[in-house]
Amino acid sequence: MAEEECELNEKQKREIAKWFLLNSPAGEIQYIAKDLRSVLNDEKVYNEAASEAFPLYNKSHLICLELPNRSGDVLVTSYNELEENEFLDPRTAQVATVDHVKQVCTDVRPAADEELSSPYIEEFRCALDAELLKYVAEAYPKGICSVYCVDGKDVEGPGSNFELVVVISAAKNSPQNFCNGSWRSVWNIEFKEDVQMLEVRGKLQVGAHYYEEGNVQLDAKHECKDATIFQVIAISTSPLA
């Protein structure tokens, strides 16, 4: 007796499509999406899978998109996500609206005061951002970086804990040479002013795909952490008596 053919239902098709999209090599999700759309031959299933997978992929791969007014770039991460499709660029104090599936910025607006860090936190963030820009310019030919406050952004002065996150993303896509690669690193820097300690936790991920006359992929991950003593020195600007 011949075995009956097992027909996949819509949910199963959607989950399989999502898996392929989420596991696309760096810089190749659009190619995978095009092939999936053709294989599925079902716009409803494809659109549901794409709408769920692309936001997760974009944020996990720390993709960088150009702002529509050419005032800079915005990283798409979970650390600067305000709403479902809105992402803060603290360096320019702007909020970008992102079309996840097309991977483009469709609009930009000034950030509201409540979306930004307090002046006290912004001093730390800007100082770190300035040094980070120098480092990335030297070490990553196509690197993009940003610094976000993920905890304690409303702190107004010394005495409270807060946390900054440094994000570095670099990609080199060369499909004409059948190879693509990416570097992603995230550094959580926790300022514990009550005990004068600074804790750093880092996550690094390197991905590469070479597919000329073969299919070779690299996916390397590493985590690290460290701590040191720090001290905030308050400088008074009042005249001496």
- For residue 21, the domain's CATH number is 3.30.1140.60
pLDDT one-digit tens code per residue, 76-113: 999 999 988 999 999 999 999 999 999 999 999 999 99
| Structural domain count, the chain | 3
**Is the residue at 86 inside a domain?**
yes
pLDDT one-digit tens code per residue, 128-161: 999 999 999 999 988 999 999 999 999 998 888 9
pLDDT at residue 75 greater than cutoff 80: yes
The token pair that represents 49 in the structure block:
């899978």
Burial class for 75, CB neighbours closer than 10 Å (0-12, 13-18, 19+):
buried
For residue 49, give the nearest of 85, 81, 23 by alpha carbon.
23
- The pLDDT value given to residue 220: 95
Q: Are residues 142 and 162 in the same domain?
A: yes
Q: Are residues 104 and 197 in the same domain?
A: no
Q: Whole-prediction pTM value?
A: 0.88
Q: Are residues 26 and 100 in the same domain?
A: no
Strands 81-83 and 86-89: antiparallel
**Is the residue at 124 inside a domain?**
yes
Boundaries of domain holding 37: 8-60
Q: Are residues 141 and 211 in the same domain?
A: yes
Distance (Å, rounded) from C-alpha 16 to C-alpha 37? Answer: 12
Q: Are residues 53 and 126 in the same domain?
A: no
pLDDT at residue 45 greater than cutoff 90: yes
Q: Are residues 223 and 125 in the same domain?
A: yes
**Is the residue at 224 inside a domain?**
yes
3-state SS of 141-157? CCEEEEEEEEECCCCCC
Q: Are residues 39 and 74 in the same domain?
A: no
pLDDT one-digit tens code per residue, 21-32: 999 998 899 999
